[in-house]
Structure 1
């Protein structure tokens, strides 16, 4: 009999704890998290050591769908950028005519396969919204890329990794400020000659060039705090 009473007490305590967590503790945690992430704040500059997509639209929901994001929720700039530099994606408030999606997870590894996947995503987005772009930098392996897609077709892509001194892909007409440079291209016919690799007049991609191109094409994410055309709204985060 005592054993049954003890078991009953344990079960009752267990149910009570579960119920309390469900209705009070969990609710409190969700409330605090929501309050932190949904409190509007000022834009945060970013850009280096990350990857972003720029889409000519204010439709964050559709961008998240194309990126197949899960666990989507509202987020302010601070939490959003922190997420982007960790394990998630942040879709920003509208910046002029553009909305950015940022996060290293957009390109898990620097290789041709992932560049092609990213290019396909841009083509899907630009087929719906007219134009989509991507910019990426990573100092450790000296990885850099810029890609532009218009009306569902890639018009320019340049991807380079300094660690191995090679391009994964280089396609399309040069754009400003590329036209003023003699960009290294390991995929070019010139690069088939040994002399090409000894030339001293070649220019190599770096993170500053990536930001200059981003500024020329759409949005320079390192200068967001200087802008006055950023919508006072929340972005969204997801994984």
Structure 2
């Protein structure tokens, strides 16, 4: 799918959202790997709006990163979630997943590279159903997600992340999508849905 020439301006997202940061040469490659169906060309503004309504938006690259917001992405509690992230990284080289949802307090992230899971964490608002891999230096520096669930331990509660923490981790690993407003990108992205 060719997109022609043009410049679009990035629109921020991140709060109460799920998103990926992947290394891909263009939106079409990322959309192919994701298996996106019912594809349409979309501007940042339109694509981000649809992402919050349950679709998936594969944005034009910002530096080496293609950002993919969408409530249509699997959340960290989904069956086969880790297998899905690892599979993306096997085909794209690097895949990061982030999730924030303040209504329930859920926060999650995952990092996979070259078909190998490096780290995955999910706080569901009450506990930690997902704690895989070695805690990264960035998590340690931010003081978040560094300990598995231990609700009776006050020190554990101090490591429970909030929305701002997920965004701070995204900034350290790749891109904080709340800070991209107005960044010039080449062409439009792609919106669509995942096969479920």
Which residue does 1:197 correspond to in 2? 152
User: Counterparts of 2:45 and 2:6 in 1: how far apart (Å)?
Assistant: 10
4+ aligned runs moved over 3 Å, structure 1: 38-41
CA distance in structure 2 between the aligned counterparts of 1:67 and 1:118, rounded to whole angstroms: 13
Contact 1:51 1:137 in 2 (8 A): yes
For these two proteins, the number of residue pairs brought into alignment is: 186
| SS of aligned partner of 1:133 | strand
Aligned partners of 1:56 and 1:99 also within 8 Å: yes
CA distance in 2, matches of 1:198, 1:155: 26
1:159 maps to 122
Which has the higher Rg, Structure 1 or Structure 2? 1
Structure having the larger proportion of residues in helix = 1
Match of 2:187 in 1: 233
Answer yes or no: is the 8 Å Cα contact 2:98–2:110 preserved in 1: yes
Question: For residues 147-174 of structure 1, what are the alpha-carbon distances to aligned partners after superposition, in whole Å with 9 as ceiling and x for unaligned?
Answer: 0001101100000011xx1112101122
How big is the shift at 1:64? 1.8
Name the counterpart of 1:224: 180
2:26–2:60: 8 Å Cα contact kept in structure 1?
A: no
Question: What is the alpha-carbon distance in structure 2 between the residues aligned to residue 84 and residue 200 of structure 1?
Answer: 36
Counterpart check, 1:56 vs 2:17:
no
Is the counterpart of residue 206 in structure 1 residue 162 in structure 2? yes
In structure 2, the gaps of 5 or more residues are none
**CA shift at 1:226, angstroms?**
6.6
Q: Which secondary structure state, in structure 2, belongs to the residue aligned with residue 177 of structure 1?
A: helix
- Structure 1 pair 125/60, CA: closer, same or farther in 2 (3 Å)? same
Answer 1 or 2: higher relative contact order, Cα 8 Å, separation at least 6. 2
What RMSD, in angstroms, separates the aligned Cα atoms of the two structures? 2.2
Deviation for aligned residue 1:236: 0.5
Q: 1:84: Cα distance to partner? A: 0.1
2:129 corresponds, among 150, 163, 168, to 168
Partner secondary structure for residue 215 of structure 1? helix
Instruction: Measure how far apart 1:50 and its partner are.
Output: 0.4
How big is the shift at 1:53? Answer: 0.8
1:21-40 matches, within 5 Å, as none
Q: TM-score, normalised by structure 1?
A: 0.71
Query: How high is the TM-score relative to the length of structure 2?
Result: 0.85
Where in structure 2 are the equivalents of 1:174-193 lying within 5 Å? Answer: 174-180=135-141, 181=143, 183-186=146-149, 191=150
SS in 2 for 1:203: coil
